[in-house]
A and B are shown apart, each in its own frame.
Chain A
Amino acid sequence: MLYSSEKIQESFKKVLDSFSFPLKEVEFEEPFVACLNVLVDHNVSINWTLSENYKMYFEIIETEINQCDFLIRDNDLTKEDLLQVKVGSAEFPEKSCTIIVKDNALTRVKASGPGIKEEIETEICLSKTHIETRNEINKEFPLGIDFIVISNNSIISIPRSVKLEVL
């Protein structure tokens, strides 16, 4: 489950690429494990509802939802969750929460912003409610939240700078 340093570097670059090209599917053998390897150690705080096994490997520190650096949910993300997470401060907008989520919903959106040529229409695995809540939270840009949406063999990233419109 723990990657070699070379594989972590490769995975890191791929996660970074996914943020550079929002909504682009970036493939991983094990997307969730790759994200944990790249983003998580005992220096970040997490709120999650996933298997306990991961905690041992990544020395995960669990924390309250309003304090967590990463919110991890597997088909059980709620609007209330999103409304509680950190959005950063004007001085340090990066001290906000990144949501890593797996969601069975499928919503058609129009997206534009940095990393997207003009605008695209696509479907993303996130419910309409979550997208609208996310848009509301990110109104105070650069404060806001970022998403990594996980599927079986890929991830897409939705940085806060991306404008999403539900179709």
Chain B
Amino acid sequence: MAYVAVLGGTEAINNSISLLNYQLKNSTVDINDLINGQKYLIDQVMSEASLYSKKHAALALIQGQGSVEETVFLLRSYRSTLTRLHYSKETITTSMFIKRRISAAFKDIKKGQILGATFDYTHRLLKEKIDSTNIPTSDDIDNMHDFPDVVDILRKDGLVNEYEKNSEIDDITKDAIMYPASRSQILQTLTRAMSASVITFAYSSLRGYGSLHPTVGELRIGDVDIVVEIDGNDVCIGSIEVSECQSIIPKNISENNKNIMKFDIGYGLCFGNNETKAIAMSILENTLQESGQNVVNDVEYVLSHIDNVEACGFISHLKLPHYVTFQSKIDSFRKKGDNDGL
């Protein structure tokens, strides 16, 4: 592919940027408005940018004028300039401060189902004004830690297919993915992928292009502590909100020359309250490790096409001058001699 540097047009470009900024002239949205009133948008862009900072997400949304694509691009660029100070230690999500926790597999679970804030039970009627004055009641706000893992019910009965623990964790932000991808590379790519893409692929699997219908063993949303080691000491540097999903997937496996049924667990975890993405991620995490002829079994295909910056960036490059390549196409048309109009 050939490109040429195009000079000129500086004044037009400067005017274009001025016009873009002028569009913000009457904007009254400030950072706090977004953080307090657009939680799910903030959570989505933090997840896709893989940068957990509500303040910077809000700042980028204002600069990006609400374009998720531009906002994620800004945050990823900003992220790349940050110094990597530490890797956090392993986070145990059962110690999460629970804000929402449900299971579609078991009705009665230890410590109960916690609905939390959800759109699931709303009537989707568009209202001019929302009454936000009712203060919800809670029985036991101080006892929202240490909710047991629901899937352990199946594990204790030996019904869950167990795998070896990953010994080494890759970092896709430092090293390019080589295929076949490791599980950590798959999980990292899925968690920072475009929500819409993850959901689309998972949906295709449910509809028949993967014949997989999992049951949500547990979906939990809450705050987990981030701990780093400083001078040999474990130091909690704060907490972040995450959505975590464990899907239960029936599977036929061969054990001692017998075909038996076991359950596989698909795992999804992402920043913020992004539960649809977390569920979709748990489906893909499983399908990508299964062999099959469907798109959702093709690791390279899925992982290479679901990143926001990569996908939007490559589509956007089509706006750049392609004068040389296009001229060569016209030339080849002309040489064929049957395109007199050109």
Contact = CB atoms under 8 A, between A and B. Distances in A.
A6 B75 CA distance: 13
Interface of A: 5, 8-9, 12, 38, 41-43, 58-59, 92
Nearest to B174: A43
B81 A43 contact: no
A42 B174 CA distance: 12
A5 B81 contact: yes
B84 interface: yes
Given A12-B81, A41-B83, A41-B84, 9 more contacts: A5-B78, A5-B81, A5-B82, A8-B82, A9-B77, A9-B78, A41-B85, A43-B174, A58-B83
B82 A43 contact: no
15 contacts: A5-B78, A5-B81, A5-B82, A8-B81, A9-B77, A9-B78, A9-B81, A12-B81, A38-B81, A41-B83, A42-B84, A43-B84, A58-B83, A59-B85, A92-B176
A44 to B, nearest CB: 9
Nearest to A115: B5
6 closest A-B pairs by beta carbon, nearest first, are: A41-B83, A8-B81, A43-B84, A9-B81, A41-B84, A12-B81
Interface in B71-129: 77-78, 81-85
A91 to B, nearest CB: 8
Contacts of A43: 84, 174
Contacts of A38: 81
Nearest to B87: A43
Contacts of A92: 176
Contacts of A8: 81-82
A49 B82 CA distance: 25
A16 B83 CA distance: 17
A45 to B, nearest CB: 12
Contacts of A42: 84-85
A18 B77 CA distance: 18
A8 B77 CA distance: 12
Interface string B60-74: 000000000000000
Contacts of B82: 5, 8
B78 to A, nearest CB: 7
Nearest to B56: A5
Contacts of A58: 83
Nearest to B7: A117
Nearest to B176: A92
Interface in B172-208: 174, 176
Contacts of B83: 41, 58
Interface in B245-296: none
Nearest to B173: A43
B255 to A, nearest CB: 39
